[in-house]
Chain A
């Protein structure tokens, strides 16, 4: 079956550090890929998406590139802020499917 694997957290960083969260997936066909962010006590917010190979999604300084050859969708941000402290979920959606498959989530803590 389909699956998404994320690096386990927590990831603790200092402000202005570079952030990378690794995400790899297993799926047949050509899924769409997403990063969602969940701030404490809130729901999930769509951070960025990519729908085909080599697409780059970007938003709020975050980027991720759909790499079909390595089945990866790693999330990066060049300079994190305290406000980026949250849990980040990588997810895939198969074509003609309703069901998002989530990774386990990675908690990120940014210290001043």
Chain B
């Protein structure tokens, strides 16, 4: 099974709201990732967790706050977002940093 699940599938939020995106995998992978994808562009890496510790933060604004509660779960907490943050947010996981990454279906976020 190579499934990564993400909830919600769609999210509309105002600029003053606080919301969270959730990602889950049960493949025993020890690395998990958040990507942001704008229309007609490739995904851009935001964060990497390795063994539940944040190992890469690609200079993402602090209004995005990642959390890895355990080895199967990854959250992305959102607060005071801007309309330009509207995008598809993709979660991925891999056995480790030298291995292929498996992506979830994404959360389509719209900031109004």
Specify whether A and B are partners: yes
A42 with B97, Cβ < 8 A, contacts A98-B31, A98-B48, A102-B42 known: no
Give the contact stretch, choosing among B11-19, B60-68, B74-82, B101-109: B101-109
Contacts of A46 in B (CB 8 A): 2, 100-103
* Choice from B48, B98, B105, B106 contacting A96 with Cβ under 8 Å: B98
Is A73 in the interface zone, CB < 8 Å from B?
Answer: no
Q: What CA separation (Å) do A46 and B31 show in the bound complex?
A: 16
Is B90 in the interface zone, CB < 8 Å from A?
Answer: yes
Is B50 in the interface zone, CB < 8 Å from A?
Answer: yes
Chain A residue at smallest Cβ distance from B97: A98
Q: Do B103 and A98 touch (CB < 8 A)?
A: no
Q: What CA separation (Å) do A36 and B45 show in the bound complex?
A: 15
Q: Do B31 and A43 touch (CB < 8 A)?
A: no
CB distance from A90 to the nearest CB of B (A): 10
Give chain A's interface residue range (CB within 8 Å of chain B): 20 to 34
Contacts of A112 in B (CB 8 A): none
* Choice from B56, B90, B100 contacting A49 with Cβ under 8 Å: B100
Q: What CA separation (Å) do A97 and B48 show in the bound complex?
A: 11
Contacts of A44 in B (CB 8 A): 43, 90, 92, 103
Is A99 in the interface zone, CB < 8 Å from B?
Answer: yes
Contacts of A43 in B (CB 8 A): 4, 6, 88, 90, 103-106
Contacts of A93 in B (CB 8 A): 98, 100-101
Is A32 in the interface zone, CB < 8 Å from B?
Answer: yes
Q: Do B55 and A42 touch (CB < 8 A)?
A: no
Chain B residue at smallest Cβ distance from A100: B101
Q: What CA separation (Å) do A89 and B48 show in the bound complex?
A: 20
Q: What CA separation (Å) do A102 and B88 show in the bound complex?
A: 16
| 19 A-B pairs whose Cβ atoms sit less than 8 Å apart in the complex | A42-B106, A43-B6, A43-B90, A43-B103, A44-B90, A44-B92, A46-B101, A46-B103, A49-B100, A93-B100, A97-B97, A98-B50, A98-B56, A100-B101, A102-B42, A103-B42, A104-B42, A105-B40, A105-B42
